[in-house]
Amino acid sequence: MERRQFTREFKLEAVRLIRDRGVSYAKAAEDLGIHPTQLRSWVKQLADDPQQAFPGHGQMKPEQLEIAQLKREVAKLKAE
């Protein structure tokens, strides 16, 4: 079974159903064909950091990018 991927716009619209229109998590999840837990996760991500939420396919938040770079540097230094 292939993992489904959703666009930033899809996620934002799904969150708008909950926040702006007052649709229940269960109803919105059923209508969108996703699990309610996934929908709750998207709402939380957007609430935690609206500017960096849903960065896109293959994109990382700046903090995650810095951590990845530091891990590569540590691995390189250990190898030396």
Q: Quickly list DSSP for 18-69.
A: HHTT---HHHHHHHHTS-HHHHHHHHHHHHH-TTTSS--TT---HHHHHHHH
pLDDT one-digit tens code per residue, 35-51: 999 999 999 988 887 77
pLDDT one-digit tens code per residue, 44-72: 988 887 777 776 655 666 777 788 889 99
CATH for 8-79 is 1.10.10
pLDDT score at 29 = 93
